[in-house]
């Protein structure tokens, strides 16, 4: 089964307008020049979506947000609806990032509700899962990840509208990564859980990204494993050269 790799940048709460547009323009120019055979996605903060959309015009780089509310509109102060994201030109949204699960107490149920609403609006979702360091030490990685798949991936998920991102929480922003063998084991277990939930055909087509301290120097090893279909990149997505270098290495 050939699954086209997706190289996705999660800018988190970084960049004001000048820095963000400069970064997006640099990424756009390099991706255009190199014609790499993978899909690209950048997810800036909400405040920059409109400006970055303009920088990505004429490229194949998709625009995504980092979160969404499940309602189309209404009394939800400070929240952003799926329709607002499509209105700004987003085609993707990240849901259930560990920083939202932890900082905002987001449950599997809420994440599933958000994913359903996003799909209804025509957005593709990147649904994040992953274990804490303590869970890993207790040997619970696969159980935690499979439970998150069963709990937060909606029944309407398809290979077209959903991407899974496995992000061990202890690897995010720390410079630490699991071994390549561990990453492949978890991805294979996640795919098995997806097969149980959505059927084998869908599971075989669905992309499962790895995220957590992906850098140009470890990308080739982590991203060319059989069940790894790309990367969700935090820190290194804030440097155009590193982001594109990772994509180059993912195809080796
Ligand atoms: C992330 O938070 O999605 C992430 C993978 O961050 P980093 O690449 O910085 O570890």
d(CA 73, CA 250): 39
Ligand 1 atom 8: residue of nearest CA: 234
**Boundaries of every domain in the chain:** 62-209+221-229
Which residues are designated catalytic?
97, 167
Does position 35 have pLDDT exceeding 90, yes or no?
no
Confidence of residue 68 (pLDDT cuts 50, 70, 90): very high
Report the pLDDT value the prediction gives residue 98, as an integer from 0 to 100: 97
Residues with Cβ within 6 A of ligand 1? 10, 167, 172-173, 211-214, 232-236
Report the pLDDT value the prediction gives residue 227, as an integer from 0 to 100: 97
Residue 54: Cβ-neighbour burial (10 angstroms; 0-12, 13-18, 19+): exposed
Strands 6-10 and 61-65 turn out to be unpaired
Report the pLDDT value the prediction gives residue 152, as an integer from 0 to 100: 98
Strands 162-166 and 92-95 turn out to be unpaired
Closest-lying ligand 1 atom to the alpha carbon of residue 215: 8
Does position 218 have pLDDT exceeding 80, yes or no?
yes
CATH class entry, domain 62-209+221-229: alpha beta
From the CA of 13, how far away is ligand 1's center (Å)? 12
Report the pLDDT value the prediction gives residue 1, as an integer from 0 to 100: 72
Report the pLDDT value the prediction gives residue 148, as an integer from 0 to 100: 98
Ligand 1 atom 2: residue of nearest CA: 234
Which whole-number Å values give the CA distances from 169 to 54, 127, 130, 176, in the listed order? 33, 14, 6, 10
Does position 161 have pLDDT exceeding 80, yes or no?
yes
From the CA of 188, how far away is ligand 1's center (Å)? 21
Average pLDDT over residues 174-181: 97
Report the pLDDT value the prediction gives residue 251, as an integer from 0 to 100: 79
Confidence of residue 233 (pLDDT cuts 50, 70, 90): very high
Among 65, 66, 102, 235, which residue has the most ligand 1 atoms within 8 Å of its CB, making it the best to mutate? 235
From the CA of 235, how far away is ligand 1's center (Å)? 6
d(CA 112, CA 68): 12
Report the pLDDT value the prediction gives residue 159, as an integer from 0 to 100: 98
Ligand 1 atom 6: residue of nearest CA: 234
Say what percent of the chain tops pLDDT 70: 100
Average pLDDT over residues 93-104: 96
Average pLDDT over residues 207-231: 97
Report the pLDDT value the prediction gives residue 225, as an integer from 0 to 100: 96
Q: Count the neighbouring beta carbons within 10 Å of the beta carbon of residue 224.
A: 14
Closest-lying ligand 1 atom to the alpha carbon of residue 12: 2
Confidence of residue 2 (pLDDT cuts 50, 70, 90): confident
Average pLDDT in the chain: 97
């Amino acid at each position: 089964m050939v699954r086209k790799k997706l190289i996705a940048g999660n800018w988190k709460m970084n960049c004001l307008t000048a820095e963000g547009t400069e970064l997006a323009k640099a990424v756009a120019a390099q991706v255009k020049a190199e014609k790499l055979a993978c899909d690209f996605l950048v997810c800036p903060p909400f405040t920059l979506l409109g400006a970055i959309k303009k920088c990505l015009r004429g490229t194949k780089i998709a625009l995504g947000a980092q979160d969404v509310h499940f309602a189309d509109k209404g009394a939800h102060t400070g929240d952003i609806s799926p329709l607002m994201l499509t209105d700004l030109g987003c085609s993707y949204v990240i849901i259930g990032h560990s920083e939202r699960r932890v900082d905002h107490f987001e449950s599997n149920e809420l994440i599933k509700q958000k994913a359903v609403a996003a799909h209804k609006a025509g957005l593709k979702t990147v649904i994040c899962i992953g274990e804490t360091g303590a869970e890993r030490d207790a040997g619970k990685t696969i159980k935690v990840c499979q439970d998150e798949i069963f709990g937060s991936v909606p029944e309407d998920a398809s290979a077209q509208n959903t991407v899974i991102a496995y992000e061990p929480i202890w690897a995010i922003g720390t410079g630490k990564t699991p071994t390549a063998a561990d990453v492949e084991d978890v991805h294979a277990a996640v795919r098995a859980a997806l097969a149980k939930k959505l059927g084998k055909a869908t599971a075989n087509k669905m992309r499962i990204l790895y995220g957590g301290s992906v850098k140009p120097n470890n990308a080739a090893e982590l991203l060319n494993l059989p069940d790894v279909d790309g990367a969700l990149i935090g820190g290194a997505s804030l440097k155009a050269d590193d982001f594109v270098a990772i994509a180059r290495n993912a195809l080796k």
